[in-house]
Structure 1
Amino acid sequence: MATVAPQEGIFGRVKPLDAILATAEKKGLHRSLGAFQLTMLGIGAVIGTGIFVLTSEAAQKAGPAMMISFVIAGFVCAVAALCYSELASMVPVSGSAYTYTYAVMGELLAWMVGWALILEYAVGASAVAVGWSGYFVGLLRSWGIDFPLALASGPDGGGIINLPAVVIALLVTGLLILGTKESARFTSALVLVKVFALGVFVVLTLPVLNGAHFTPFIPNGWGTYGVVGAAASIFFAYVGFDAVSTAAEETVNPQRNVPIGLIGSLLFCTLFYLLVAAGAIGAIGADPVRSAAGAVLAPGSAELTAQCNAITSGGALEPLVCSKEALAHVLRSIGYERLGDLMGVAAFIALPSVVLMMMFGQTRIFFVMARDGLLPERLAAVHPKFKTPHVVTAFTGIVVTLAAAFLPVGKLADYSNSGTLFAFAMVALAVLVLRRKDPNRRRPFRTPAVFVIAPLAIAGCVGLYLNLPPIAQLVLIVWGAIGLLVYFGYSRSRSHVGRGIFDVPELDPDAPPNVGVASLPGAPAPGTPGERP
């Protein structure tokens, strides 16, 4: 271990890239993932609750224009993905946006990004678990089994606790503790199930497309409860590709494989989203449900639930915006009752892979923050048999389970988006800063037209954040304030970088080449004895 003089000041604690890479080599996780597995992990993380469930949320805000919302959200994700790819290929270690920010803009901003990523992944995993629960309960209902409402939904949905969501969150936690490679294989198999199910949906719905269902195309305008607001919510449908970058430390040849996994999975998913959205709208329509006074009702609200119940109690077909199992509902509505059930089965067996990837990303963020001393180092403990961060995985599982038990999917998705958008904007900013700060460093993947792409990513993230519901915006602010209290009350004084400590494995006999103590600020010159680990 090398001890060097810390760089003080709020923005002065920058962890050198060479030290980050060295620390990862010494205390890192086993590298076992290739390009195909990463792409499958990315698709597995992206295709999930966003398209299976949040289609209803987007329709309530944007109506048929949710297709534009998908394009807007996909564009913002695309430019952010290009920024992610450059940094992930340069810094192939766990931590994602947190690690990149630490290396470029300092510890405080890195802490805030890591804190926001905790919000993204943990709350996002809870949202997916709730979405899975909706399909599970709907599938049982189709088979003549009425699951008690009190145990199928949280208080906002008229129930007490969402028991199916609790069960799936706990099962995924156990699987993650067993091992990363096992989790990746499990996810790869389920990706094929999801892709096949969505392909069948497109084949069955596009032939019955009714052009009248696309009119009026933009019923609610472009604001927070219109097209852009729907894009801010449906952004959750694309979240997950960044989880690929958090697996960089467990990837073989990350300089090549991480960009392939990131961009490949995003492009594949975008085409599917547009086709599925067109099929759903064209088959049964996507008109928003309004109050008696004609006002737009917020997705996930008790008012919308009551209005939907009033519509269906009169014998009318349940609107798309009211369904908790949107795609299965569409198939049943156009006469494919049993195929609708199969869609429910596909969601039932495939959505857990998205819960898995969200929790996978969460635990790796916790792992690397604990490794840096910003969180209790006990959280970075690796299980002697399974070689996974079992302590932080179990803790994450408990948090995810509690959120899934009581909150609705739409609100959880919006809360998760607020943290995601902040982190993505910081990654784009980090790319710009690093291009100026360290232009000669090797970049296996370079963001094209970076001084256009990165500002577009930042502007897009800020714009979508401002069109989230006010409560979701407030969640990020309050969560950030709590994070600052934790940082200045605990983490700042225990930070390894703040104490001038860097793990440098080159001092070990078996250290990897080309990472030297002399490259660290304040380190002794070559040939000077240093502190051995």
Structure 2
Amino acid sequence: MSLKIMRKESLQTYLGADQKFVKSLTASDLMTLGIGAVIGTGIFILPGTVAANDAGPGVTLSFLMAAIVCALAAMCYAEFSSALPVAGSAYSYGNVVFGELIGWVLGWALILEYMLAVASVSTGWAAYFNSLLASFGINIPTALSGPFDPAHGTYINIVAVAIVLIVTLILSRGMRSSMRINNVAVIIKILIILVFIGVGLFFIKPANYHPFLPFKMGGVMHGATTVFFAFLGFDAVSSSAAEVKNPKKNMPLGIIGTLVIATILYMGVSVVLTGMVPYTKLDVANPVAFALKAVNQGWIADLLSIGALVGMFTMMVTMTYSSSRLVYSIGRDGLLPKFLSKLDEHSSTPQAALWIVAVIIAAMGGLVSLDQLTSLVNIGTLLAFTFVSFGIIPLRKRKDIGNKGGFQVPWFPVLPILSGIACLVMIALLSVQTFIGAGIWFVIGIILYFSYGYRHSKLAHESTTTD
């Protein structure tokens, strides 16, 4: 058994299995996917609350420090996606460089990350949308406005279910039409953020930047650990590698470009926000809207509500897409039922994987209170980051994987090791409750692997393997 669970998959096998995907995505498409996942409602909240509680105007440096740490992992993902242009992201990378069991664990972690993230955001989208409807005098019936909780009169969050199904319907039509919609939505979101920055510049008071570091550098560093999670999501871009034109060039551009643009936007909002209003006043639920109303620019605050809805929509598009490609990849390898790996002839999408993912996410968003579970997204992401970072070392040793002309992490092996250590530090900072929840999830995953995946795995039935 020990030999079979540590067998490594061949890159050529994956390339052969994924060749039916239509290669239609460009570097700009990848960046809109990535920005769609990374930039959500957090950009309108975190700069203010972290400034008030941790870093003062130095919150800009907190975002920069967090971006630098994320850049290490982003470069590792860029090299993997350039060398292994296949579906499945860290799951497939783990299968190739570490072996099947590690690949399964990473896949199971990513299933948790992607599906829980979309389910959580769907409830946030529903809350914003219901608030928007209420401003027009339209109210969703109480029974249809929240998770299953008969004691409080709620049975299903119908808007959360609906938005997940709408996103899935768009994705089911194929990536070309899906990307047109997603690209437009991301552009709208970025324009709204730029409007805030552009207008806010005229209301900056230099005195608000003093003191710049009221909590010293310790506060900036603590703020960096908080805003670090605002950058998570760029890794989802790597799930699309099998559908990308010229992946050796475009995958690194998409992943690293996403992080650069997100960093600029986060820092831009932070600089303007803390210049408009003293940082001590920003510990409110929606600090950007608060700052705009403080300078009598309430019309932009209303515009931000639209930006929040669009931002959450694009995040759900990217993460639902990534979830379906992940489930497709696991089915492709036999660790989940093989029908999940079948591609539709017309849309070249894994319809079965996509709709099963959608039903699970919709059920979670519509019926379950997710308040205590969203922190599990972070541990799933960081675990994948850790293995991808350290995985660069065995990847470089693989003679059967050529990456000529592709991106390679500089200063090897120092940067991959630093990236892995940074991720482990971030994992250590997570709460005990997060570890307990993750432990339960991974126990379920291990049971599923040995009860189904181990017996049905393609690799478990092959007599040869790539070392």
Q: Shared topology, TM-score over 0.5?
A: yes
Quick one: structure 1 residues 146 and 285, their matched pair in 2 at CA, closer, same or farther if it must change by over 3 Å? Answer: farther
> Tell me, what secondary structure is at the counterpart of 1:247?
helix
Given that residues 5 and 460 in structure 2 are in contact (C-alpha distance below 8 angstroms), is that contact kept between their aligned partners in structure 1? no
1:327 counterpart residue number: 288
RMSD: 3.2
Asked if 1:102 corresponds to 2:63, the answer is no
The partner residue of 1:120 within 113, 120, 132 is 113
Q: Aligned equivalents of 2:425 and 2:142: distance in 1?
A: 37
Q: Aligned equivalents of 1:495 and 1:388: distance in 2?
A: 22
The partner residue of 1:92 within 69, 79, 85 is 85
Given that residues 151 and 162 in structure 1 are in contact (C-alpha distance below 8 angstroms), is that contact kept between their aligned partners in structure 2? yes
Q: Counterpart of 1:485 in structure 2: which amino acid? A: I
Quick one: structure 1 residues 284 and 399, their matched pair in 2 at CA, closer, same or farther if it must change by over 3 Å? Answer: farther
2:452 counterpart residue number: 490
Given that residues 233 and 417 in structure 1 are in contact (C-alpha distance below 8 angstroms), is that contact kept between their aligned partners in structure 2? no
Q: Aligned equivalents of 1:194 and 1:68: distance in 2?
A: 24
Cα deviation code 1:144-171 (max 9, x no counterpart): 6676787656599x99454433322221
The partner residue of 2:391 within 430, 449, 452 is 430
The partner residue of 2:432 within 467, 470, 477 is 470
Given that residues 104 and 433 in structure 1 are in contact (C-alpha distance below 8 angstroms), is that contact kept between their aligned partners in structure 2? yes
The partner residue of 2:186 within 186, 191, 215 is 191
Q: Counterpart of 1:35 in structure 2: which amino acid? A: A
Given that residues 139 and 345 in structure 1 are in contact (C-alpha distance below 8 angstroms), is that contact kept between their aligned partners in structure 2? no
The partner residue of 1:45 within 24, 28, 37 is 37
Q: Counterpart of 1:132 in structure 2: which amino acid? A: W
- The Cα of 1:474 is off from its aligned counterpart by 2.6
Q: As a proportion of its length, which structure holds more helix? A: 2
Q: Aligned equivalents of 1:329 and 1:145: distance in 2?
A: 25
Quick one: structure 1 residues 56 and 140, their matched pair in 2 at CA, closer, same or farther if it must change by over 3 Å? Answer: farther
Pairing of 1:104-503 with structure 2 (within 5 A): 104-140=97-133, 160=154, 162-210=157-205, 211-212=207-208, 217=213, 231-287=224-280, 320-323=282-285, 325-405=286-366, 411=372, 413-438=374-399, 441-443=402-404, 444-500=406-462
Cα deviation code 1:66-110 (max 9, x no counterpart): 434423331222111111111101110101111111110100000
- The Cα of 1:14 is off from its aligned counterpart by 0.7
Q: Aligned equivalents of 1:172 and 1:133: distance in 2?
A: 13
Quick one: structure 1 residues 116 and 286, their matched pair in 2 at CA, closer, same or farther if it must change by over 3 Å? Answer: farther
The structure with more radius of gyration:
1
Quick one: structure 1 residues 236 and 335, their matched pair in 2 at CA, closer, same or farther if it must change by over 3 Å? Answer: same
Q: Aligned equivalents of 1:390 and 1:494: distance in 2?
A: 22
Q: Aligned equivalents of 2:364 and 2:296: distance in 1?
A: 36
Q: Counterpart of 1:189 in structure 2: which amino acid? A: V
Cα deviation code 1:163-211 (max 9, x no counterpart): 4333222211221222222111111111111111111111223443454
Given that residues 55 and 62 in structure 2 are in contact (C-alpha distance below 8 angstroms), is that contact kept between their aligned partners in structure 1? no
- The Cα of 1:121 is off from its aligned counterpart by 0.8
Q: Aligned equivalents of 2:216 and 2:371: distance in 1?
A: 18
The partner residue of 1:15 within 3, 9, 29 is 9
5+ residue gaps in structure 2? none
1:530 counterpart residue number: none
Q: Counterpart of 1:13 in structure 2: which amino acid? A: R
- The Cα of 1:362 is off from its aligned counterpart by 0.7
- The Cα of 1:218 is off from its aligned counterpart by 6.1
Given that residues 61 and 229 in structure 1 are in contact (C-alpha distance below 8 angstroms), is that contact kept between their aligned partners in structure 2? no
State, as a whole percentage, how many aligned pairs show the same letter: 33
> Tell me, what secondary structure is at the counterpart of 2:232?
coil
Given that residues 131 and 409 in structure 1 are in contact (C-alpha distance below 8 angstroms), is that contact kept between their aligned partners in structure 2? no
Aligned residues: 461
TM score, norm. by length of structure 1: 0.78
Given that residues 44 and 354 in structure 1 are in contact (C-alpha distance below 8 angstroms), is that contact kept between their aligned partners in structure 2? yes
Q: Counterpart of 1:107 in structure 2: which amino acid? A: E
Given that residues 118 and 365 in structure 1 are in contact (C-alpha distance below 8 angstroms), is that contact kept between their aligned partners in structure 2? yes
5+ residue gaps in structure 1? 1-6, 288-318, 503-519, 523-533
Q: Counterpart of 1:37 in structure 2: which amino acid? A: D
Cα deviation code 1:117-167 (max 9, x no counterpart): 1111111112332333343344445566676787656599x9945443332
Quick one: structure 1 residues 456 and 233, their matched pair in 2 at CA, closer, same or farther if it must change by over 3 Å? Answer: same
Q: Aligned equivalents of 1:214 and 1:485: distance in 2?
A: 56
1:33 counterpart residue number: 25
- The Cα of 1:266 is off from its aligned counterpart by 1.1
Given that residues 82 and 403 in structure 2 are in contact (C-alpha distance below 8 angstroms), is that contact kept between their aligned partners in structure 1? no
Quick one: structure 1 residues 15 and 344, their matched pair in 2 at CA, closer, same or farther if it must change by over 3 Å? Answer: same
Q: Aligned equivalents of 1:410 and 1:204: distance in 2?
A: 34
